[in-house]
Amino acid sequence: MLIYDDICSHWLERATPDNVSVAHLSTRFSFPIFVCSRFWVTLLRYLIPFRRQKKPYFLAYLYALVATIQPKIVVTGADNNVGLASLAEITPDVWFIFVQTALRDTNQGFPSGIKLPTYFAFGQSERLIFSSLGVSSRQYLPIGSIKLGYALSDPAPPRFAYADLLFISDHRPGRAEIALPPLERAIEAASNLLFMHSWEYAQKYGLTLRVVAKSREPHRHDQERLHYQTLCRNYPFDFVTEIKSSRGLDTYHALLVSDIVINNGSTLGFEALAAGKKVLFGASMNPQLIKDWGVSAYFDQVPGFMCIQQEDFLHFEKKLNALRALPLAKYQRHTSTVARELIAQDTDCPPHEYIRETIRQYLLT
C-alpha cells in the first residue's frame, strides 16, 4: 500500500492492517525520483504521449513514481488533489482511496468537475458540495472523521483539566491582518470578535477559558498565545497546542473535557458536534461570510439555537446562557440527527477500524 502526501499520513498508516507493507510518497515540498531504470523508462515513455493529449507533465511524473512502487492500493488524506485524481482515472488496476480530513467548501475546496475515485467522506454534506461544483466520485462512503475516531477510542488519553468554555482559534500567526486576502481577513475579524465575547463572558460569570491553537508549528505557538493575551487583556486561559509529529490528538482530548465549544466554523467545531459536545458557531453572525467562505452546505443544517446571528455581546450572552442551561441529554436529542448527517461518526466502528477492515478485505480478494 502507498500513502500519498503528508496530510494525515501518520493516522492513515495506523489504520493499515498489520500484515500490509506500506510506502510513503509526497510531492508537497519536493520532487522525489528513483534511480532505477523502471522509473526513467516509464517517465520517458509517457512524457510525449501525455503532452500530446494535453495532460500535464506532472501527471507523467506521478504515473512513473507509482508505477515504480507498484502498490495495490493508494491512500491519501489530500482528498482534493487534482493530480492524484487524474492518475486514478488512468490506473484502473490500482485502488485509490481519498480520505476527507477537513471540512470542504465551494470556494477553494475542490476544482470544478474533478473526478474522484473512492471517497471516504465525513458525512452527507459533501455530496451537496460535489453537486454544486460538478464533482463526481466513483464511490462515496460517509465514515466520519479519522482523527476524532482515534481520540474517542484512545485507551489512555492525556489528562486535561475541565474547562467551562473552549474557544477554537482561527488566527494564523506570522501574517499581518492587513496583508491577508479579503476572505481570510473576514474570517480573522469574526474569530477575534467571537473570542473577545468569549473572554468577556468568562470574566463576567467567573468561568474557566481554554483556547485551542490553530498553528501546528511549535515556533508559532507563542505568537498565537500572545495574540489572544492581547485581545483579552491577559485574562487567564489555558492554551492547548497540537504538534503534528507528536501529541497529535491533544486538541481533541482537551475539547472532550470542556463544557461548551465556541468556534467560528472550524472542522474541529463540527467534530465536537459529532462527539455530542455543546457547540456555539460564530461565523453565522455574518451571513455574507458564510456565503463567501462557501460553507453553506454545513451551516444550513445547524440548528439556529447553536448559531450567533448578531455581532453584539448581549446577543452572544443570551445564546450562550440558553445553551448552558439546556440539559446535555436534551441537547443531544435535538442535534443527534444533524450531527450524523454532518459527520457520520460511529463509535462502535470508528473510521480507522473501517478503513483497516476495508483494506484487509480488498487484499484478500
Res 365 pLDDT > 90: no
- Look up residue 176 and give its three cell numbers: 499581518
Check: CB of residue 241 under 8 Å from CB of residue 215.
Answer: yes
- The pLDDT, as a whole number, for residue 269 is 98
pLDDT of residue 245: 58
- What is the distance between the alpha carbons of residues 77 and 166, in angstroms, rounded to a whole number? 27
Q: Cα–Cα–Cα angle for 105, 344, 75, nearest 5°?
A: 70
What DSSP string describes 38-50?
Answer: HHHHHHHHHHHHH
pTM value is: 0.94
Phi (first) and psi of residue 328, to 5 degrees: -60, -40
DSSP string, 59-126: HHHHHHHHHHH--SEEEES-TT-HHHHHHHHT-TTSEEEEE--S---TTTSS-TT-EEEEEEESSSHH
Domains defined for the chain, CATH in brackets:
2-144+349-364 (no CATH), 153-342 (3.40.50.2000)
**Count of other CB atoms within 10 angstroms of residue 227:** 18
Main-chain dihedrals φ then ψ at residue 220, nearest 5 degrees: -95, -15
What average pLDDT score do residues 30-54 get? 93
Average pLDDT of span 317-326 = 98
Length of the chain: 365
The CB density around residue 151, as the number of other CB atoms within 10 Å, is 21
Q: What is the pLDDT of residue 244?
A: 67
For 148-176, how does the pLDDT look when each residue is reduced to its tens digit (9 = 90+)? Answer: 999 999 999 999 999 999 999 999 888 77
Q: Are strands 95-99 and 209-212 parallel, antiparallel or unpaired?
A: unpaired
Instruction: Over range 320-342, report the average pLDDT.
Output: 97
* Beta strand 115-121 pairing with 95-99: parallel
Residue 187 reports pLDDT greater than 80: yes
pLDDT on residue 250: 95
Q: What is the mean pLDDT of residues 9-28?
A: 96
Q: What is the pLDDT of residues 74-93, one digit of tens each?
A: 999 999 999 999 999 999 99
Using the structure block, give the residue that is written with the C-alpha cell 461518526.
345
Percent of the chain at pLDDT above 70? 99
User: Running DSSP on this structure, what letter comes out for residue 304?
Assistant: G
Q: What is the DSSP letter of 231?
A: H
Q: pLDDT by residue (tens digit) across 260-269?
A: 999 999 999 9
Render pLDDT for 211-249 as a digit per residue (tens, 0 to 9): 999 988 888 999 999 999 999 998 999 999 987 656 889
Q: Give the N- to C-terminal CA distance of the chain in Å, as an integer.
A: 15
What's the rounded Cα separation, in Å, for the pair 292 and 182? 10
Phi, psi for 170 (deg, rounded to 5): -115, 10
